[in-house]
Structure 1
Amino acid sequence: MPVSRRGLLAGTAVAGAALAIPGTASAASASAAVAGDTIRADDARYQDLVLRGQNRRFVAKPDYIRVIRSAEDAVAAVQDAVRGGKRIAVRGGGHCFEDFVDNSDTEVLLDMSTYDEITWDPRYRAFSIGAGAILETVYKELFIGWGLTVPGGGCLGVGVGGHFSGGGYGPLSRKYGSVVDHLYGVEVVVVDARGRARSVVATRDNEHRDLWWAHTGGGGGNFGVVTRYLMRTNGSAGRTPAESLPKAPAALRSSILLYDWKTTTQAGFLRTVRNWFDFFEQHNTADSPYATLYAPFILTHTSAGNYLLSTQIDAAAPNSAELMKAFNAAMVAGVDPKPQVIDVGEGPFLHTTMERSIGETASPGRGKYKAGYLKKGYTDEQILAMYRGLTDTTYTGPESSVLLVPYGGKVNTVPSGATAAAQRDVVAKMVLSASWTTAADDDKNLAWARKVYADIYRDTGGVPVPNATNAGSYINYPDVDLADPAYNKSGVPWHDLYYLGNYPRLQQIKAKWDPRNVFRHKLSIQPPG
């Protein structure tokens, strides 16, 4: 059974039809559109839709909600909002870490959740995925229908709307790259300088290529309302569905290393984390025999009692059993006492993916997330900063953690400017999460997360300033603190941390496609000047 999103981030759980509306640059107009449902506060559906957000720190109270079921619905909804001068926000899966959707300024909420069809589109020779689809639906449809997959994330309830456009990644990214390396096109509703809403299909090889590029890592909520994605691996001609996306593994082999905080010393922790960094630094090429090995290290706070390393590898990889054994041996080398090694064995791809992934929860809590890309492992002092935070006895947070995620491999074979996702020379990502349940505990949890993060990056102004070790941060893990000089003391602006040298180009595209700045939030792309 999948563990909860909060549980895995915190480490507390072990465990051929064509699209009906193909879309063109003028596929839908406001005058011709058929409006989707309009839901106001007196509608029985309103409260359920407002509470779809997975971070309960934020809950919006929009004037109304529009349920989007087509590109025409989206054009009509956007046009009505622009005409009425109302602030728009768009919800897909509901997993935005900050208040970009659930904000007091949101007046019109566009809910995409019912627009989730997945089909083969012969016109574009690509898979069409509705922007309301969640990753669980994508994985099941692609695998059962065609035996294919995309290298997306391990949180099953995450929507593709933001995940894809922000440069999504997951267990297969070291083998197949980022999700955006398989993005052929995007259908998006934009608003021109006159306030006219229209639907545009931008692909990597048509006249709207700049708008396509902006959605290869620029992040959601910046340029318009994405209504569907067209997925075809870069380099594929799309002659048949079977050759257009990566073939899924037939089976996965997995294991778990379970560590006990009671027997973990500072020296033991340092050696344990150093082992992990050293391994992925040494095995970070696209052709590595370990390219399909994915091993997120879930370092929960000591109040959880233990922490764990959860590993999987393509069972069909040559000598996969020996590779897994060698990896586990490398992880425990020099560590005393050694962790418990749990051989989970081999299982079919889809079943094992569902079992190992992070399931949705009907009772989401509150959270704060802070992240960073790494070009190489942290220094000893940074690892010890993690240790101090995770063993802080003045704080109790059994669902709070530092998550280390292996990255790189195939991702690093793509030039930094080829997609808006600029970080293409990395080995890992770090995600620091504080997770709790009640508003009364907000201050102490926020303070803990900020303190630990600042301690890890104290030599670079409290943030992951790009240098020999750091490569900024990941826009799909947004953190408004990076735009606040009280927490970002580096002098490096937030947008350089997320986009590196790609930000000026994103600004030019923003000015062209959203000249009225209709689509905006606290970390949105700003027009030039």
Structure 2
Amino acid sequence: MTGVNRRTMLSRSAAVLGSTAVAGTLATTVAAAAGGAPAPEAGATIRPDDPRYAMLTTGNNQRFVARPDYVRMIRSTADAERALRDAVRQGKRVSLRSGGHCFADFVCNPEVEVVLDFSEMTGVTYDARMRAFAVEPGARLLNVYEALYKGWGVTVPGGICYSVGAGGHIAGGGYGLLSRAHGLVVDHLYAVEVVVVDAAGKVRTVVATREADDPNRDLWWAHTGGGGGNFGLVTRYWFRSPGATGNDPSKLLVQPPSTVLVSAVSFPWADMTESRFTRLLRNFGAWHEANSGPDSPYTALSSLFNVCHKAHGTLDMFTQVDATVPGADKLLADYLAAITAGTGISPTAMTRPSGELTAMPQLAAPRRMPWLQATRLVGTNNPTITDPTARGAHKSAYMRRSFTDRQISVMYRRMSGADYWNPDTMIVLFSFGGQVNAAAPDATANAQRNSVFKMCFQTFWHDAAGDDAALGWARGIYEEFFAGTGGVPVPDDRHDGCYINYPDTDVADPAHNRSGVPWTELYYKGNYPRLQQVKRRYDPTDYFRHSLSVKPAR
């Protein structure tokens, strides 16, 4: 199905579902959809003397380590209820994990006493009663894509990295190479199942849908970009695209292109001067500023540009185009020509891994391949961001317009300087806009609906001794880049805040955020007060909390 205008998503839902149900009933329903299998047994409780404990008390970012009393593996909604009741009864501080890719300390920090781990809940099924696809929070993104596409020929427009867990990715909004054509992942979210705890400590399971008359609709809305770990334990998401009708599962969700046209090229630092760098970056920004409207023919194209540090040797760009649209070859050729126009730089083959990208020398000349094959190629071979022994620093920004000359100058100096010489350092520029911008800012909790590309300033290293240098680089370039707005991307006519799935606790620290604008405005803009109201209703005691969590309205 083609991209839908998300401004009508609130009024075009097709069926009404009862708003609440006990966990046992829901588990039975989804089990029936999966073939009648009984609910799984309780998950393991892993304590410090268990050999699995060390592995389960940190995530993909080795900067953050927890020392909980125990880790509780969750296998079902009923299991989640039991685990939460136990923790509440004991007065334990909990954190939640699906895939373990959190960039901050939301899951692993010194205050956590119990980690609730959902990585064993990996089901992806079609639920006929809901007329929607059920995805459990521990399912990894590539498994979600494989199951949906092989089973029904559909997908969700989610992220590149194969091992990201669905639980956090979805709650934070979720985007990827198909988002310019189909919007955010949450633009297709129909319902969510959440285990919550009230002011008296009573645990219950709530199902919230996007139906206009659902009394729990705001809980659904909060999970369309409100971020993970804020409102309760998500045990299931259901997906059905707005406006989808009928009972044929293959017509109820995004149908990806059967084939895509892909390109991977490098721009050698050896050929780079400051003027060439400036023109290259100005070209990228200007193209996206001009071609990111919801109705642009270029919504069929999405590009990931790694502006790597000089120590890496190259700047690297991967581009994907829906090969089924008319003129796909020309769209790609015109895009590559626009990026390099006036630079005097000739792209070369991408022969080295680069951040989220593997080496792809075979794509120096554009090549057609099946969509799922391209998804596997990009998603499964990203050795830097999926390195489970690495430490990382990440800072994000939405851009509504191209770079200023001063901002490009900052990038050139900081990305070519010898004071921090690390080849695994990059600024990722990711195509945005298109159908993402077709939704109103308050239609979902993800408020950034007028951006043209997204930035992620990031670096990776392996030794705690390198923390000061790495964090110094990340803070230095970010705060200088946004010096005109107090060191952070304050929403204005050029910037549009930060992405909650790339959390950064520095933006809540006045030593680094000197704008006077609270971190809540950077991540949620005008949607934060509504998120606070949802928090007050479903988590009034602020039981679920972390370093950047939503606080209940007073």
TM range (shorter): over 0.9
Deviation at 1:358, TM superposition (A): 5.1
Aligned: 1:196 with 2:221:
no
Matched, 1:276 2:284: yes
From 22, 30, 51, the equivalent of 1:44 is 51
Q: Distance in 1 between matches of 2:272 and 2:93?
A: 51
Q: Deviations over 1:390-415 (max 9, x none)?
A: 01111111001101111010011100
Number of residue pairs matched by the alignment: 505
Helix, strand or coil at the partner of 2:315: strand
Aligned-pair CA distance for 1:86: 0.3
Q: Secondary structure at the match of 1:294?
A: strand
Contact 2:92 2:114 in 1 (8 A): yes
**Alignment partners' CA distance in 2, 1:499 and 1:252:** 34
**Offset of residue 50 of structure 1:** 2.5
Amino acid in structure 1 at the alignment position of 2:377: E
Cα distance, 1:516 vs. partner?
1.2
Paired AA for residue 263 in structure 1? D
Does the Cα contact within 8 Å between 1:28 and 1:198 map onto a contact in 2?
no
- Displacement, 1:344? 4.0
1:166 aligns to 2:169 (yes or no): no
* Per-residue deviation, 1:143: 0.8
Give deviations 1:307-356, integer Å, cap 9, x for gaps: 11111111111111111111111111101233226114111111111102
Q: Is the 8 A contact 2:152 2:249 kept in 1?
A: yes
Q: How does 1:127-526 map to 2 (within 5 A)?
A: 127-205=133-211, 206-237=214-245, 239-340=247-348, 342-357=364-379, 359=381, 361=386, 363-526=388-551
Aligned-pair Cα RMSD in Å: 1.7
Instruction: Give distance in 2, aligned partners of 1:389 and 1:398.
Output: 13
SS at match of 1:343: coil
What's the offset of the Cα at 1:238? 5.4
In the alignment, is the contact (CA less than 8 A) between 2:142 and 2:379 conserved in 1?
no
On the 8 A contact 1:432/1:449 being kept in 2, the answer is yes
Q: Matched residues in 2 for 1:335 and 1:48: separation? A: 47
In terms of mean alpha carbon deviation, does 438-447 or 318-327 score higher? 318-327
Amino acid at match of 2:182: Y
Equivalence for 2:12: none
The farther-off stretch of 360-369 and 455-464 is: 360-369
Question: Is the contact made by 1:34 and 1:72 (CA closer than 8 Å) also made in structure 2?
Answer: no
Task: Return the letter of the residue paired with 2:330.
Answer: E
Counterpart secondary structure, 1:290: helix
Tell me the alpha carbon deviations over residues 142-185 of structure 1, each in whole angstroms, 9 at most, x when there is no partner.
Answer: 11111111100001100111100100100000000000000000
Alignment check: 8 A CA contact 2:40 2:76 kept: no
Q: Give the deviation of 1:59 after TM superposition.
A: 1.4
8 Å Cα contact 2:280-2:340 kept in structure 1: yes
Is residue 256–residue 308 contact of structure 1 (8 Å, CA) maintained in 2?
yes
Question: What is the distance in 2 between the residues matched to 1:490 and 1:362?
Answer: 34
Distance in 1 separating the partners of 2:92 and 2:262: 49
Matched, 1:83 2:89: yes
The AA in structure 2 aligned to 1:527 is: P
Counterpart-to-counterpart distance in 1, 2:88 and 2:173: 28
Asked if structure 2 preserves the Cα contact closer than 8 Å seen for 1:82 and 1:195, the reply is yes
- Check the 8 A contact 2:19/2:215 in 1, yes or no: no
> Residue type matched to 2:45 in 1?
T
So what's the TM-score if we normalise by structure 1?
0.93
Paired AA for residue 481 in structure 1: D
1:32-70 deviations in whole A, cap 9, x for unaligned? 99643212122233233224x100001112111111110
Give the SS at the match of 1:338: coil
CA distances 1:15-37 after superposition (whole Å, capped 9, x unpaired):
xxxxxxx99432349xx996432
Spell out, residue by residue over 1:443-468, the C-alpha distance to the aligned partner (whole angstroms, 9 max, x if none). Answer: 01000000000111000000000111
Question: C-alpha distance in 1, partners of 2:41/2:154?
Answer: 34
Shift of 1:294: 1.0
**Following superposition of structure 1 onto structure 2, how do residues 21-32 of structure 1 map, counting pairs within 5 Å?**
24-28=20-24
Equivalent position amino acid for 1:425 in 2:
N
Structure 1 unaligned segments of length 5 or more: list them.
Answer: 1-21
Give 2:46's aligned amino acid. I
Give the TM-score normalised by structure 2.
0.89
Consecutive unaligned residues of structure 2, counting only runs of 5 or more, are 1-17, 26-38, 350-363
**Is 2:19–2:216's contact at 8 Å kept on the other side of the alignment?**
no
- Could you say which residue in structure 1 is the equivalent of 2:113? 107
Specify the alignment match of 1:10 in structure 2: none
Q: Distance in 1 between matches of 2:51 and 2:19?
A: 33
Partner of 2:355: none
Mapped to 2, the partners of 1:222 and 1:57 lie a distance apart of 22
Cα displacement (A) at 1:120:
0.5
